[in-house]
Each structure stands twice: as C-alpha cells, then as structure tokens.
Structure 1
C-alpha cells in the first residue's frame, strides 16, 4: 500500500506539515510512505528577493515528484500553500501535466486528500482545499478530509488552522510562525486517516 505525499513549499511551512502527515501515515501497518515535492518554477533571482531561496535548502533533499509516481500510489496527499485563495502556481503547473493520466483513468478510485498553509487565519484555507478537490474529482479520485473525530478542531484555546476539508497551518504575514503542535497533530491525524482508508480499499 503506497501513500504518496506531494507538496510545494516556499518557506518550509507546508514541508513541516508534510512531514507530520507522513508520520501519521507511517503508523498504519503496511503503509509505504513516499514524500515528494513538485518542481520550483520561479527564477532563482526572484526566490532570493522574496527570501525563499535559502529556506528551500531545508527540503531540497526531497526528490522531485514525477507524474508517473501518482499512478503508482494507492493514496495521494497533496500539500500546497495558498496563493490568493487557490493552490500555488507550482502545484497547478504540476497537475496540469497529468492529462495523460486523466486520459487513461489512471487515478480513478485512488484516495486524494489535501492540506495547506496560509499567511492569515482567513487567508483561504478552505477555498484552497475545496478548489483543489475539483481537480481530484476530475481524475475520479475519492476525497478524504479531516473529520471532526480530530477533536482539536473544536478548540478555542488558540488560533489555528484546519477544517473538515483538511489540515492547515497559519504562517503569519511575515512567515515567522511555524506550525503549532495542534496543527501538526491535525496533519498526523489526516495522514493516518488516509492510510487507514487506503488499507481498507486495497484489501
């Protein structure tokens, strides 16, 4: 049973969430968890200007995902930061290269799940994940979110990311806030939950 986690991260927030998702998925017996990132599309000069060039060195050891790897997985959990209420352009460009998989129905019946990161509490966490689902549904995937059995969603103790649609973190306008323990717990829960459902479907 292969659980593929595919993410894009500019400053490391989505990468940290991806690690937590992987931790949760590995708790399920029989799960082979694979972590991949999508290619960067911004030029090096611009990445340096926005302070993302050095930040990316933290996760540059993660291999770049190929389109064919999607077809080999039983479940795919995507992670993307929000860009104006939608997925990042890097993730969009990667997914735009999956037309061949769509033509063959290669992802039909596989589990698809999404987590995200936003700068602010109301920066588009839900819209990003829900609009991402549209692509997964066109591929015939089975959507899995973050159910309320992850009870931390009901907390009023702190401002935090996450919704029934998927785990999320709030980075802050300057990117200084890294995922909190409760946000990471949501990511772990989602990873484990997806892997548990994948295990049932692959039996």
Structure 2
C-alpha cells in the first residue's frame, strides 16, 4: 500500500474541506491508504511511515498558520536532522481571502511550505495548469482556495476549487506509488553529530 499523510489546520472549516477533497483524490488511486490529521495531532511516526505528505494551511499575513509551522519545527525539523524524509513525495495547498483581488500572500505561504519539504530532501509535486479547476484555484505550486472576496467578504470554497484539490491529491498519490521503495537520491553526506541531535531530542 502507498501511504499518504495529509496534515492541515483550519479555523473556519474551509481548509478542512480542501484537505478532505485532497484526501478523496488520493484515495481514488488504487492501493493508496490515506491518513488526514490536524497539524497538532500529526506525529513523527505518521511522517516516518508515509510515502507522501500533503501539507495545507490557511494563509496568515503571507505565511502559513502558526499551528502548521509548529508541526514543521517540532516534527519535520527533527526528521530533517536524521534524513528520514529524504525521497518522500510532498505537496502543499492553502486557503485564504484577503483584501484586493490577488492571492493575499498564498504564493509566499505555499513557497514557505515547499521550502521546508525541499530542505528535507523530498520530491515535490506541484500543480500544472492542465489540472481541472486550475482556472480558479491554480497557484503553480499547489491549489489555493480563495475563501474571501475582494472586499474580504466570506464566500467559502467552491466546487471548482475542491476539484483542483481532488486532482492534486490524486497526482501526489500516483507519484508516490510510482516512486515507492525506489532509492533514487544520492547519499553519503555525514549526518549531524550525536551532540547536535541531542539538542533537538
């Protein structure tokens, strides 16, 4: 079985809906097991057993929500030190409104999430413009659910946005299945010393 972990946090339910769409998309790929967890509940063991991780967040002042950052700093950073995420597949998504008619910092937030995955040596799955729903939820890096209008009025997540999320989940699962149990990336660099590792224990 290919194992996909979805990690997210949600304040008004919109990010949760996108996470559920990604979960359903990943589950549509035969032989895929999906675990969907709030960032505060996801553990290092969840990450260790996963072949792929999709991380999602509301946008907060052009960056990820603090609860998702805590997961990165307290879980992913330790696994980065021990190289336990190298070769896993990663994808991201965001949700947010914002004032004006732009992504309200969603691109910066997604790049920050992807940066954490890239530092961990993961293989990144982005969102090609051929993806159904891209015209309303496409960000190149991953789907973005625009949950607020140009005057910051709540509008929620549309079915087209959910469609882009569904396909993103399926794309990540297919890539993870194709790469599962394949040791493709070079190794040989020295891990941090036991003293350094102990500082993060």
Change in 2 beyond 3 A, CA 1:192/1:114: same
Describe the SS at the equivalent of 1:94.
Answer: helix
> Does 1:110 find its partner at 2:91?
no
Task: Report the counterpart of residue 56 of structure 1 in structure 2.
Answer: none
Q: How does 1:76-115 map to 2 (within 5 A)?
A: 76-98=53-75, 99-115=77-93
How many pairs are equivalent?
173
Query: TM-score, structure 2 length as denominator?
Result: 0.82
Q: How does 1:130-149 map to 2 (within 5 A)?
A: 130-149=111-130
> Does 1:181 find its partner at 2:162?
no
Describe the SS at the equivalent of 2:74.
Answer: coil
Query: TM-score, structure 1 length as denominator?
Result: 0.81
List per-residue Cα deviations over 1:12-60 (Å, max 9, x = no partner): 1100000000111011010001110012xxxxxxxxxxxxxxxxxxxxx
- Provide the C-alpha distance between the structure 1 equivalents of 2:161 and 2:48, rounded to a whole number of angstroms: 29
Task: Report the counterpart of residue 144 of structure 2 in structure 1.
Answer: 168
Describe the SS at the equivalent of 1:76.
Answer: strand
Task: Report the counterpart of residue 194 of structure 2 in structure 1.
Answer: none
List per-residue Cα deviations over 1:46-93 (Å, max 9, x = no partner): xxxxxxxxxxxxxxxxxx211221111000000101111111111111
Structure 2, unaligned runs of 5 or more: 182-201
Task: Report the counterpart of residue 75 of structure 1 in structure 2.
Answer: 52
> Does 1:150 find its partner at 2:109?
no
Superposed displacement of residue 151, structure 1: 4.4
- Provide the C-alpha distance between the structure 2 equivalents of 1:196 and 1:148, rounded to a whole number of angstroms: 18
Structure 1, unaligned runs of 5 or more: 40-63
Q: Which one has a bigger Cα radius of gyration?
A: 2
4+ runs deviating over 4 angstroms: none
Instruction: Report the RMSD for the aligned CA atoms in angstroms.
Output: 1.3
- Provide the C-alpha distance between the structure 2 equivalents of 1:151 and 1:178, rounded to a whole number of angstroms: 19
Q: How does 1:7-46 map to 2 (within 5 A)?
A: 7-39=8-40
